[in-house]
Structure formats: C-alpha cells, structure tokens
Amino acid sequence: MDKDMNVVIIGTGNVATILGKLLVSKGHKVLEVVGRAKQKATSLANICGAKPILDFSAITDTADIYIIAVSDKAIEIVAKQLILKNKLVVHTAGSVSINIFNMPGNNYGVLWPLQTLRKEMETVPPIPFVVDAVNEATYVTLLNFTKTLTDTVFRANDAKRIKLHLTAVMVSNFTNHLYALANDYCHKEALDFKLLLPLIEETVNRIKTYPPHTVQTGPASRKDVTTIANHLGLLKPHPTLQKIYHLMSDSIMENKPL
C-alpha cells in the first residue's frame, strides 16, 4: 500500500495546502479535507479533488492515512476527536511529541516537512521529511509512503526532532529576521535592499560546497575592530540591531567550538 494511498488531510493552512498539492501530484488520492472554516476547507478540497468536511464525526474511516496539519496546540484536540481503528495517523509538527497520540486503537507517527511552506507557492520546493512511528511496522508503511513524496527521508525520535527543529529556527527564522532587520535599516537609510540579494544568494550557494565556518568572511572574521566600532557607532539609533551586531561579532571572533 505504499503507492496511491487514500489520504485525509485535517487542516487547511500552509502545510495542509502544500501537502495536499504534493500528494495529488504524486498520484495519491485525497479523499477529504477537514477544517472548521467552510471556505478554507472547500477551497483546499477543490485543489485536491477532495470532499470538504466540517464535522469531525463525519470523517471517513476508509482512508489509509490521516494527516493532521494543524497548529501545534490544536493537534491533541484534533487527535482526540478522531475515532478510527487501526489507521495510520500522523502529525506534521517539528516540536510536538509523538506521544501526543494516546490512541491505543491506531498506528501513529510523525511526518514533519523540514521546509518553510506557504499556501501561495506555485511550485512545491524540495522537502526533506523527518518521520517517526510508534512501531516498526508503522514506520515501514510511513517510510514507503514518504518516499513517494521526496528523495530525503530522515528518521528522528522526539529528542532528535526537536534538535533539528532548533537548527531549522536558527538557519531559517533567524536568518530571515536578519534580512528583515537589514531591509528595515535600508528603508530608513534610503538604501535599496535588493542590492543585497545577489550577496545573500551567493552566501547560500557557497555552503552547498564548503562547510560554513571555512567560508566565514567580514570584519569580525578578520578581527577588524575599527570597522566593527564604526558599524556599532552607526547603529546607536538602532539599539536592538546594535546588540545583535555586537553579539554576532563577538561570537564570530571567539572562533571556537560551542
């Protein structure tokens, strides 16, 4: 049953939408899209060729896999409303335990897309999936299913998954915040943020080939305290940015293992 699974998607947000598109593009059948908001459920159901379901008690029990793609806080509430027997139920969260599923009747697991996903995406980017399962038989089923969606599947238990989530926050959320701070600064100083885009892209291109610490450049890397002092002076009107500049530069200058 690793090909052409029958799937129910619970949720209508970014992850649910992209997973829905991906599932359909890989030949799976989305039977139902479950959501509280009629318009959202209908909209995603239409995209997936599925039936919109607003009432949890009306969810079909004929699917092979039930994917709970709702906010972290809502996962447990949703799981408790799912009345199924011997079905595979997964959530899609990086930082929620697999043990949230206290459903003795079902097989369960985690299917976490290690990617930043937005509804509006026209093409689905490459998504590594981090998976976990309550037992080996379920793991094999989930693994075979996930392999139809991606080239990269990584098994991680709760402890490993939360660490991966932490690194994802660092390399995606924090870097995006640096972009946002720089964009804001450019706006205030009448500079064009778009000038920085080739540099931003190249910074990422490099680390596909070189370990990042081997390509570290900049004033802190060469201990150019004059330039650092000039920059910190310029940042006096921007105290948060100044603090971040200070800490990041110190950390680069430490140049030692964590």
**Residue span binding its own copies (CB under 8 A) among the ranges 3-11, 45-53, 61-69, 241-249:** 241-249
Residue 211 CB, shortest distance to its own copies, in Å, is 6
**Residue span binding its own copies (CB under 8 A) among the ranges 4-12, 49-57, 136-144, 160-168:** 160-168
Q: Are 84 and 54 in contact (CB under 8 A)?
A: no
Among 43, 116, 144, 148, binds its own copies (CB under 8 A): 116
Among 1, 37, 171, 225, binds its own copies (CB under 8 A): 171
Q: Cβ contacts of residue 73 below 8 Å, gap of 6+?
A: none
Q: Are 95 and 102 in contact (CB under 8 A)?
A: no
Q: Does 81 bind its own copies (CB under 8 A)?
A: no
State how far the Cα of 142 lies from the Cα of 33, in Å rounded to an integer.
Answer: 20
Among 3, 36, 38, 163, binds its own copies (CB under 8 A): 163
Report how far Cα 248 is from the mean position of its chain's Cα atoms.
Answer: 25
Q: Does 213 bind its own copies (CB under 8 A)?
A: yes
10 Å CB burial of residue 144 (0-12, 13-18, 19+) is middle
From the list 20, 149, 16, the residue with the least C-alpha distance to 78 is 16
Among 39, 77, 184, 223, binds its own copies (CB under 8 A): 184
Smaller CB distance to its own copies: residue 57 or 199? 199
Q: Does 160 bind its own copies (CB under 8 A)?
A: yes
SS3 of residue 162 by DSSP: helix
